[in-house]
């Protein structure tokens, strides 16, 4: 792969996003650790986070194409990718043309990162994708979240809005 050639389109969600994140973490964590020893931990994690954000935006655009639309209804329908196999337990608060809001009450992603001893990387490798992936899906969708299970909260509060709708986070 040269600097000018993009990576072929991503088709790996068929294995389930939770399993995919575990596979990625098992490869990326030792790589980041070794690079951190060589070039400084904080800088390496910062660069990795930037790359994850860029990848998430690209994946968001591909997801919109795959879903056949980039409105909130199509985005809400894509949740099956992240909840597959009980990976997330969610309570939907609002689902309309202008708002998709839900709380994650159980996050097996956070559990998996903790079990692997990689809780610090969990936010960088997974949580950081939530807001940036939707930018690639549709840059007009706004994302808000005040807390995550990964950071120790009882639940994650997600609110995606299209237009000027405001929803109170719970």
Q: Which 3 state secondary structure label does DSSP give 135? A: helix
User: Could you tell me the pLDDT band of residue 16, with boundaries at 50, 70 and 90?
Assistant: confident
Residue that the structure tokens 């973490």 belong to: 25
Name the nearest CA neighbour of 126 among 23, 9, 7.
Answer: 23
Token digits of residue 34:
């070794």
Render pLDDT for 85-144 as a digit per residue (tens, 0 to 9).
899 999 999 999 999 999 999 999 999 999 999 988 898 889 988 989 999 999 999 999
Helical H segments across the chain, by residue range: 17-39, 41-67, 72-77, 80-83, 108-115, 119-122, 129-137
141-161: average pLDDT: 96
Hey, what domains does the chain have and what are their CATH numbers? 14-162 (3.30.1380)
CB 108 within 8 A of CB 38: no
| Residue 116: how many other CB atoms lie within 10 Å | 14
CA distance 145 to 167: 11
Q: Is pTM beyond 0.85 here?
A: no
Alpha-carbon distance of 111 to 44, in angstroms, equals 24
Element (H, E) at 156: strand 156-162
């Amino acid at each position: 792969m040269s600097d000018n050639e993009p990576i072929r389109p991503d088709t790996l969600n068929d294995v389930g996003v939770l399993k995919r994140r575990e596979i990625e973490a098992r490869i990326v964590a030792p790589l980041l650790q070794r690079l951190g020893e060589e070039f400084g931990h904080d800088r390496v994690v910062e660069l990795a986070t930037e790359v994850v954000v860029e990848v998430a935006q690209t994946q968001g655009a591909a997801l919109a194409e795959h879903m056949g639309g980039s409105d909130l209804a199509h985005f809400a329908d894509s949740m099956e990718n992240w909840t597959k196999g009980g990976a997330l337990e969610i309570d939907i608060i609002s689902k309309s043309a202008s708002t998709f809001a839900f709380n994650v009450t159980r996050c097996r992603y956070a559990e998996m990162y903790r079990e692997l001893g990689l809780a610090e990387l969990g936010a960088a490798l997974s949580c950081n994708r939530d807001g940036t992936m939707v930018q690639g899906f549709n840059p007009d969708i706004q994302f808000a979240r005040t807390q995550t299970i990964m950071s120790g909260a009882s639940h994650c509060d997600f609110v995606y809005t299209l237009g000027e709708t405001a929803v109170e986070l719970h």
